[in-house]
Amino acid sequence: MITFEDVTKRYRDGTVAVDDLSLEVPTGAITVFVGPSGCGKTTSLRMINRMIDATSGRITLNGQDVREIDPPTLRRGIGYVIQQAGLFPHRKIVDNVATVPYLLGWSKKKARARAMELLELVGLDPSLAHRYPFQLSGGQQQRVGVARALAADPPVLLMDEPFSAVDPIVRASLQDELLRLQSELRKTIVFVTHDIDEAVKLGDTVAVLRVGGRLAQMAGPATLLTEPADDFVREFLGRDRGIRRLSFISAKEVRLSPPPADLVTDEDGRPLGWRSGGGLAAYGVFNPEADSLRVALDAALLSPNGVAVAVDEEGRVRGVAGRDAIDELLAEYAPPVAGPAAGAQSSRGGPPTVGPPPGAGSSQGAPT
Partner 1 sequence: MNWLADFFGDPSHWSGPDGIPVRLLEHLEFSAAAFLVAALIAVPLGLFIGHTGRGALVVVVAANAARALPTLGLLVLVVLLAGVGTVLPVLIPLIVLAIPPILVNTYQGVRGVDADLRDAAYGMGLRGRQVLVRTLIPVALPLILLGLRLAAIQVVSTATIAAFVGLGGLGRFIIDGLATKTYADVIGGAVLVAVLALAVQFAFVLLDRVAVSPGVRQSR
Residues that bind partner 1 (CB under 8 A): 49, 51, 71-76, 80, 82-92, 99-100, 103, 132-135, 148
Contact 308, 300 (CB under 8 A): yes
- Order across the sheet with 307-311: list the strands: 285-286, 307-311, 317-322
Task: Please tell me the total number of residues recorded for the chain in this structure.
Answer: 368
Compute the least distance from the CB of residue 5 to partner 1, in Å: 23
Compute the least distance from the CB of residue 89 to partner 1, in Å: 5
Closest CA to 248 of 317, 199, 200, 213: 200
d(CA 332, CA 219): 21
Name which of 67 and 241 has its Cβ closer to partner 1: 67
CB hemisphere CA count around 71 (13 angstroms):
8
Compute the least distance from the CB of residue 95 to partner 1, in Å: 10
Name which of 187 and 214 has its Cβ closer to partner 1: 187
3-state SS of 194-246 is CCHHHHHHHCCEEEEEECCCEEEEEECHHHHHHCCCCHHHHHHHCCCHHHHHH
d(CA 216, CA 19): 11
Compute the least distance from the CB of residue 72 to partner 1, in Å: 5
Name which of 51 and 342 has its Cβ closer to partner 1: 51
Name which of 132 and 333 has its Cβ closer to partner 1: 132
Compute the least distance from the CB of residue 86 to partner 1, in Å: 3
Name which of 102 and 333 has its Cβ closer to partner 1: 102
Name which of 89 and 278 has its Cβ closer to partner 1: 89
DSSP secondary structure, 242-299, as one string:
HHHHGGGSBGGGSPPBPPPTTEEE-TTS-EEEEEETTEEE---EE-TTT-BHHHHHHH
Compute the least distance from the CB of residue 146 to partner 1, in Å: 13
d(CA 139, CA 334): 39
Contact 148, 102 (CB under 8 A): no
Compute the least distance from the CB of residue 116 to partner 1, in Å: 19
Name which of 101 and 288 has its Cβ closer to partner 1: 101
